[in-house]
Copies of this chain bind each other. A is one copy, B any other.
Amino acid sequence: MRVVIPFKKENAKTRLSEILSEKQRQDFALEMLLDVISELEASEKFNEIEILNSSIFSIMNTEFPGNVNVLLSEKDLNGALNEYLEKLASHNMDEVLIIMADMPLVTKKHLLELTSLTADLVIAPGSRGGTNALLIRKPDKFHVDYYGTSFLDHLKIAEEAGLSVDIYDSFMMSTDIDEPKDLVELLIHGKGRAAQYLRSIGITLDTNTARLVFNNYK
């Protein structure tokens, strides 16, 4: 199966700017991406892993845990992904998973479960109405519409196209990391590089209050 991961390192995770420097946000975004790719590889479900990026410079020196293609697009998220889907459709290719790079709690187990669902469209909802993963089995009949409550938008697009839908309900996959409070979830449940990165720069968890602690903060 093919998987595409939109990724942006420049100006990444601006809502974390009150607690992380620009360099730290970039490093952290990359660690989350690497966590996601590790699990995609571990699942042994994906023979084509593609990163959709606006700049080659941001990841050109990165060592990825597996074979990865980097696709460049200057379009916005919806524009770039819909162009990608059109290209798949025009080459008669089916089945692609779109997965976000900022969901470091995803594991191989989730990916195996999600891809075993059989509907035309499988959606893993994110918090705040987001869409954290979309398995699209008929790229010729679907287009994405991220931003806002994209979960509801994607349900509607599928309905209008007569596509069947399965919802993959996972707390871990719903946890996208946008705001400082999301780091709490990562420190509680995370076992990968992104959680380790936070600890390495001195961000830990107060388990009495479930709040972040900034310890020897670098």
Query: When chains A and B are docked, how far (Å) is the Cα of A110 from the Cα of B125?
Result: 16
Q: Are A208 and B148 in contact (CB under 8 A)?
A: yes
A169-218 with Cβ < 8 A to chain B: 169-174, 181, 184-185, 188-189, 205, 207-210
The verdict on A129 contacting chain B, using a C-beta distance below 8 Å, is: yes
Contacts of A148 in B (CB 8 A): 207-210
A21-50 with Cβ < 8 A to chain B: none
Q: Are B205 and A171 in contact (CB under 8 A)?
A: no
Q: Are A152 and B208 in contact (CB under 8 A)?
A: no
The verdict on A128 contacting chain B, using a C-beta distance below 8 Å, is: yes
Query: When chains A and B are docked, how far (Å) is the Cα of A184 from the Cα of B149?
Result: 10
Q: Is the interface of A mostly helix, strand, loop or mixed?
A: helix
Contacts of A174 in B (CB 8 A): 171, 174
Choose one: B110, B129, B209; the contact of A207 (CB below 8 Å).
B129
Contacts of A152 in B (CB 8 A): 188, 207
Q: Contacts A125-B171, A171-B171, A172-B169 hold; do A149 and B185 have CB atoms under 8 A apart?
A: no
The verdict on A142 contacting chain B, using a C-beta distance below 8 Å, is: no
Q: Are A129 and B171 in contact (CB under 8 A)?
A: no
A115-167 with Cβ < 8 A to chain B: 125, 127-129, 148-149, 151-153
Contacts of A169 in B (CB 8 A): 110, 170-172
Chain B's closest residue to A126 (CB) is B171
Contacts of A185 in B (CB 8 A): 127-128
Q: Are A184 and B128 in contact (CB under 8 A)?
A: yes
Can you identify 16 A-B contacts, CB atoms within 8 angstroms? Answer: A127-B185, A128-B181, A128-B184, A128-B185, A129-B184, A148-B208, A148-B209, A149-B188, A149-B205, A149-B210, A151-B188, A152-B188, A169-B170, A169-B171, A169-B172, A171-B173
Given contacts A129-B205, A149-B210, 18 further A-B contacts (CB under 8 A): A125-B171, A127-B171, A127-B185, A128-B181, A129-B184, A129-B188, A129-B207, A129-B210, A149-B205, A149-B207, A149-B208, A151-B188, A152-B188, A152-B207, A169-B170, A171-B173, A171-B174, A174-B174
